[in-house]
Amino acid sequence: MEKTNTRIILASSSKYRADILSRIGVKFEQFSPNIDEYAADSESADQLVKRLAEEKALSARDVYQNSLVIGSDQVVSGPAGILGKPDNLTEAVEQIMVHSGQEVTLSTGVALLNTKSSRLQSNVDHYRIKYKTLDRKTVERYVKREQPLDCCGALRAEGPGINLLQWMRGNDPNTLIGLPVIYLCAMLENEEYCLY
């Protein structure tokens, strides 16, 4: 299969997802979807991230014809229930402190829409992490330095946030950052898109 020139759209304003796509050699354009990221009643973490990833991809279908559109979403679930990004620095500290010494799961949904055929593929990947037993001053210093308001659960594990963790487990380290690349590559191959 030869490398294709198919137009790829990332339906996300996330710099982290954009960085992942750039690192694996995908040329793409970014589109900021206008999606209400609410959780429906009794919706599980997996159902939520899958639905939002699909909605983000579908939000670009009228703007980009003959394109492959990527949508993705992530939440963390643990003792405090389902959490997304913190609204402020105080909430960021609390999101981390509530998980001190606890195991949590990051659920990351990814969707790929072919706007020409209307084919929509989606999947959810998981990453398990365990926080160290943390003291508030350490967490406050981390939050003040990193300002992780754009990170699910206020964790930026690819930077100094790694020091908050005892261990991490998963199949795809990109899932932790916010884009399950192994699943995405399989979806792109299904659309006969070749990375190289």
- For the four alpha carbons of 64, 73, 84 and 36, in that order, the dihedral sign comes to positive
User: Annotated catalytic residue: which of 73, 125, 150, 172?
Assistant: 73
150 is catalytic: no
Query: 2: which 2 tokens?
Result: 């030869």
Task: Pick the closest to residue 135 from 159, 163, 100 (CA basis).
Answer: 100
pTM, 2 dp: 0.92
β-bridge mates for residue 106, sequence order: 76, 127
- The pLDDT tens digits for 19-66 are 999 999 999 999 999 888 877 778 999 999 999 999 999 999 989 999
> Quick one: pLDDT at residue 40?
78
Closest C-alpha among 30, 77, 35 to residue 52: 35
The whole-number pLDDT of residue 37 equals 80
Delineate the domains of the chain, giving CATH numbers in brackets.
Answer: 7-190 (3.90.950.10)
